[in-house]
Structure 1
Amino acid sequence: MEHVEIARAESERGELVLRERRPGSDDAGAPTALELRANGVFVMDTREVATEQALATAALAVVDDPRAVAVGGLGLGFTMHQVLADSRVETCAVVEVEQALVDWMRDGTIAHGPALLADARVSVVVADIAVAVAEARPASYDLLLLDVDNGPGYLVHDANAVLYEAPFLRSVRAMLRPGGAVAVWSAAEAPDLERSLASVFTTTRSERHDVRLQERDEHYWLYVGVV
């Protein structure tokens, strides 16, 4: 497999790299895929999007009327895309800390980006999710999907640890309408997160989801807090 760098950017959080994986002579027939890495750590690619789709689908099922949805983390846009596939969604605000990633989606460096961002329901805010949540109007959203990491055990940046603790979750609760929910996708069981959610939200639950990744059966967990 050949790796070709498409774009690179630096921020105070470090290096963000977009590269293309192209099949070589030994893997002819394999699809070309875009891959996103932060400080050398794999974040996601366009080949395996099952977890992003599953997060959105499972989270949307939690709320009866998810008219206003917020997504923490843009990634390559697949969580947002699945949210927009639900006709109940009237607005989808995506909070992304990396300006370069938003630019790559807007200018077509990520080829499918312009079409996704052209949806009139989408707004993109370039900010730290903790700051954006703290500044959100009270009771203004029905659902927040937290998709900045693969859960508290797989942080893209160490500073993201605060997103799974009670003080941030209290800010999340304040931005949600009655019956609203926060949904966190995790690649491993996260009992500390479950306890933090239970200390803040009226109702909480965890669900195991089986997903297929690279021809392997994997288990992910969805942690939910409902106002």
Structure 2
Amino acid sequence: MEYVEVARAETERGELVLRERREDGAPGALELRANGVFVMDTVETSTELALADAALAVVEQPREVLVGGLGLGFTMHQVLADSRVERCSVIEIEPVLAEWMRDGTIPHGPALLADERARLVVADVADAVAEAPDASYDLVLLDVDNGPEQLVHATNEALYRAPFLREVQRSLRPGGVLVVWSAEASRDLERALTEVFGGSETVAHDVRLQERDEQYWLHLARVASAG
């Protein structure tokens, strides 16, 4: 296995690297790493697709969707595949990652962003949610880490605590849903979601990741429907 660096950048939060895995010199999967930690690649995308599908399945009319975390764009792609979605706003804190998506460094990026329903915003997701008007979204999907126990950046810990979750609740329409993707089931997150939303659901999802059987988790919480 050979790794060929495609792009590298130093950001306020550390180092981002986009590299290609090759066997026998043939072009292969793109892989994104943050501060040396594997984030995702273009081969095993079932986790991103599951995040989108699980959320879309529990909302009758997911017209306005917010995705926290761009990654390599697969969650956004799956959201936009649903014809009910009128707008998908993706919030990404790293300007360089957004630029790689826009300029084709991530080859499938320009085609994804050509969808007129896609809106890529460079911002901290906490700020974006706090600035959103009340009842802005039908869905909020958080995929900025591998869950509260596996943070990409230490400051992301606040995203799994009650103050931020209250801002998410405020930004959701009646019947709206928050879905958080996690590599582990988190009792602390379950308690925080229950405190804010009055209840939560934790759903296991089996995936095949780099020739290993893994189990990931979706944490869901819903705003009560009107009436």
Q: TM-score, normalised on structure 2?
A: 0.95
Equivalent residue for 1:163? 159
1:86 is aligned with what amino acid?
D
Aligned pair count?
223
**Residue 54 of structure 2 corresponds to residue 53 of structure 1:** no
CA contact (8 A) 2:185 2:202 kept: no
Distance in 2 between residues matched to 1:56 and 1:210, nearest whole Å: 15
* Secondary structure of the structure 2 residue equivalent to 1:70: strand
Equivalent residue for 2:124? 128
CA deviations on 1:71-103 (whole Å, 9 max, x unpaired) are 000000001001111111110000000000010
State the Cα distance separating 1:116 from its structure 2 match. Answer: 0.3
**Residue 176 of structure 2 corresponds to residue 180 of structure 1:** yes
In structure 1, list runs of 5 or more residues that go unmatched: none
Q: TM-score, normalised on structure 1?
A: 0.95
Equivalent residue for 2:149? 153
RMSD: 1.2
**Residue 16 of structure 2 corresponds to residue 16 of structure 1:** yes
Equivalent residue for 1:7? 7
State the Cα distance separating 1:216 from its structure 2 match. Answer: 2.5
Distance in 2 between residues matched to 1:18 and 1:214, nearest whole Å: 18
1:221 is aligned with what amino acid?
W
Distance in 1 between residues matched to 2:168 and 2:218, nearest whole Å: 17
* Secondary structure of the structure 2 residue equivalent to 1:10: strand
Distance in 2 between residues matched to 1:216 and 1:38, nearest whole Å: 22
Distance in 2 between residues matched to 1:155 and 1:63, nearest whole Å: 28
Distance in 2 between residues matched to 1:119 and 1:63, nearest whole Å: 22
Equivalent residue for 1:189? 185
2:207 is aligned with what amino acid?
V
In structure 2, list runs of 5 or more residues that go unmatched: none
